Chains A and B, each alone.
Chain A
Amino acid sequence: MTALLEVKNLSKSFGGLVAVNNVSFALEAGRITALIGPNGAGKTTCFNLVAGAMRPTSGQVVFDGHPIENAPPELVCRMGIARTFQIVRPMRDMSVLENAMVGAFSWTRSVDEARSTAYESLESVGLAGKANARTDQLTLPDRKMLETAKALSTRPRLLLLDEVMAGLRPTEAAGVVRVLRKLAEGGLTILLVEHVMRIVMEVASRVVVLHHGAKIAEGRPEEVVADPMVLESYLGAGFHA
């Protein structure tokens, strides 16, 4: 197994609150890994630590052999890690295509090259037909996919997805799952932060479970769902399958 990203003893405190507590895990190249846990488990904090949006209190994040825990987000992106935002953030005055172009400027200065890359990114998430639309004309699932396309334009090796399927109907989520599978088949490594267990089971080859900031389980999806600790964290103490 080759680890593209290693998280080692990562902790983050906000004042007295420990949001992430001594978490370690590794991401295998070319696989989809899911980071799950109930509300307030520290998933998004953990995600932001990896993406460079926050600095950890202690611990290390190693990407492809380089420590990145103190790197600013733009540098983390330029090293090959792209992220999406849980609350979709389209650039309001720019078309769908222009939104998708921005990421390409992290590796090229040619507008033509950025445009063709943006088309490819939009195509891979099924938005090519709406390239010239304004972002406020997009539906929620389309906006979520635009976030993914924007990230893809940076040509990442690791894609961090923050709740891309939250708020989607099952049929819409199934479409997203297809897109993610195809991306992973193309060799992209994906870390998925998700709340919805069922989708994670379908798409992830490995699952890391956080609870109260600490890792309580890790393994293949079917192992994890059978874990009594995981069931307890999601469903409350006293519940046994």
Chain B
Amino acid sequence: MKRWLAGGSVLVVLALVGALASPYLISLLTIVLLFTFLGQSWNLMLGIGGQLSIGHALFVGLGAYSVALLDVKYGVSPWIGLLLGMVIAGSAGAVLAWLSFRFEVRGIYFALLTIAAAEFARIMFGGWEFVGAMQGLFFPAPTGAIDISMLRGDARFYYFIALALAALGIVGTEMISRSYFGYVWRAMRDDEQAARALGVRAFRHKILVIAISAATAAVGGGILALVQGSIFPDSIMGMGLSVDVLIGPVVGGLGTTFGPLVGSLAAIPLNHLMSALGDCLRIPGLNSIAYGVVLVLVVWFLPDGIWPAIVRLGKAVQLPSRLWLLQPRKAEE
């Protein structure tokens, strides 16, 4: 309950921030929240389902292109585009998973396959005139008027959409964790052979978790496209995006409900700050160095991520007599 209180209060604060903060902060936090949602999608796949994806940009990109193509070329509502993106990305994930596991390609080799698939799609979209090729696609310039049916509005509007998405992701992750699927998937993640011996149909569950993760990533991608106002294959389907997606949950805490939010809140502003600092000091790429350093530090000092450390701290504060600093870590869990 305590972590719900903590997580919930973070969301309330974020809602207040949305009402009060400056446009720059709002657009930064919109990206944080979108990557929280994308991180939750990725986290579902690895943290709960045990399947590593390093090519999540494929699903993000498919969602983004579905929304952008329908909207820009045919004037169809992004709501339809989001649905189409879910279907396309979910199917792509399912087919990729089916092919892979059918031929016993698993673990790290499956992860390599996700990279290959994402890169294949990026190169294909980059050479495909119909989807704008390397020139990308541009949404009509925003008028600032809020139009829910076309998902168009100002920065604040997108901020609240992203906030709603992140909250939905948290509730969804928690609901899945506590359902039949959560138990079966975690059992499969921990030991696939043992889970199968207990009747878990691992083959279809692996395909299912990947399809769901892919479909949710597509929703995040579609909204990301709207927020950015334009998409290009190299950025929306590139390796860089795949890495950005997984930073949040890895830094925040793998397999935890609030990890992607905490991780994204820590990592993305840092990235922007370092980027600005780098421009100022004329050190290009300072943000990438900072990213790397933070990743190393987190893996070194908080191998479970930031969120589990906060939970442990919370428990220790509850019981001050236990001198948590002196206790071995295991005992705190």
**Could you tell me which A residues sit within 8 Å of B by CB distance?**
51, 53, 72-74, 77-78, 82-83, 85, 89, 91-94, 98-99, 101-103, 105-107, 109-111, 114, 134, 136, 150-151, 153-154
Cβ of B330: which chain A residues have Cβ within 8 Å of it? Answer: 136
Residue B202 at the A interface, CB < 8 A? yes
Cβ of A78: which chain B residues have Cβ within 8 Å of it? Answer: 199
- A102 engages B200 (CB within 8 Å): yes
- B200 engages A105 (CB within 8 Å): yes
- A77 engages B186 (CB within 8 Å): no
Cα A73 to Cα B193 with chains together (Å): 9
Chain B window 184-227, contacts with chain A (Cβ cutoff 8 Å), 1 for yes, 0 for no: 10110011011111111110000000000000000000000000
Chain A to chain B contacts (Cβ below 8 Å), 11 pairs: A74-B197, A89-B193, A91-B186, A91-B194, A94-B183, A102-B195, A103-B199, A105-B184, A105-B199, A111-B178, A111-B180
**Could you tell me which B residues sit within 8 Å of A by CB distance?**
178-180, 183-184, 186-187, 190-191, 193-202, 255, 330, 333
Cross-interface CB contact of A106 among B191, B200, B255, cutoff 8 Å: B200
Closest to A85 in B: B194
B178 to chain A, nearest CB (A): 7
Cross-interface CB contact of A74 among B183, B186, B199, B255, cutoff 8 Å: B199
Cβ of A153: which chain B residues have Cβ within 8 Å of it? Answer: 198
- A134 engages B333 (CB within 8 Å): yes
- A93 engages B201 (CB within 8 Å): no
Cα A153 to Cα B198 with chains together (Å): 9
B190 to chain A, nearest CB (A): 4
Cβ of B193: which chain A residues have Cβ within 8 Å of it? Answer: 53, 73, 89
Cα A69 to Cα B295 with chains together (Å): 48
- A106 engages B187 (CB within 8 Å): no
- B179 engages A102 (CB within 8 Å): no
- A94 engages B190 (CB within 8 Å): yes
- B202 engages A109 (CB within 8 Å): no
Cα A54 to Cα B333 with chains together (Å): 38
- Given A74-B197, A111-B179, 18 other A-B contacts at CB below 8 A? A51-B197, A53-B193, A73-B193, A74-B201, A77-B198, A83-B197, A89-B193, A89-B194, A91-B190, A93-B255, A94-B190, A101-B183, A102-B184, A105-B199, A106-B198, A111-B183, A150-B198, A153-B198
Cα A103 to Cα B199 with chains together (Å): 7
- B197 engages A77 (CB within 8 Å): yes
- B180 engages A102 (CB within 8 Å): no
- B199 engages A154 (CB within 8 Å): yes
Cα A207 to Cα B193 with chains together (Å): 28
- B199 engages A106 (CB within 8 Å): yes
Cβ of B255: which chain A residues have Cβ within 8 Å of it? Answer: 93
- B187 engages A102 (CB within 8 Å): yes
**Which of B196, B198, B333 gathers most chain A CB within 10 Å?**
B198
Cβ of B180: which chain A residues have Cβ within 8 Å of it? Answer: 105, 109-111, 114
Cα A13 to Cα B200 with chains together (Å): 28
Cβ of B333: which chain A residues have Cβ within 8 Å of it? Answer: 134
Cα A119 to Cα B191 with chains together (Å): 22
Cross-interface CB contact of B191 among A74, A89, A109, A111, cutoff 8 Å: A89
**Which of A77, A82, A91, A111 gathers most chain B CB within 10 Å?**
A91
Cβ of B200: which chain A residues have Cβ within 8 Å of it? Answer: 74, 102, 105-106
**Which of B183, B200, B255, B330 gathers most chain A CB within 10 Å?**
B183
Cα A94 to Cα B255 with chains together (Å): 12
A93 to chain B, nearest CB (A): 6
Cα A136 to Cα B328 with chains together (Å): 15
Cβ of A114: which chain B residues have Cβ within 8 Å of it? Answer: 180, 183
A73 in contact with B196 given A111-B178, A134-B333 (CB within 8 Å): yes
Cβ of B179: which chain A residues have Cβ within 8 Å of it? Answer: 111
Cα A162 to Cα B179 with chains together (Å): 31
Cα A172 to Cα B200 with chains together (Å): 31
Cα A72 to Cα B101 with chains together (Å): 15
B161 to chain A, nearest CB (A): 32
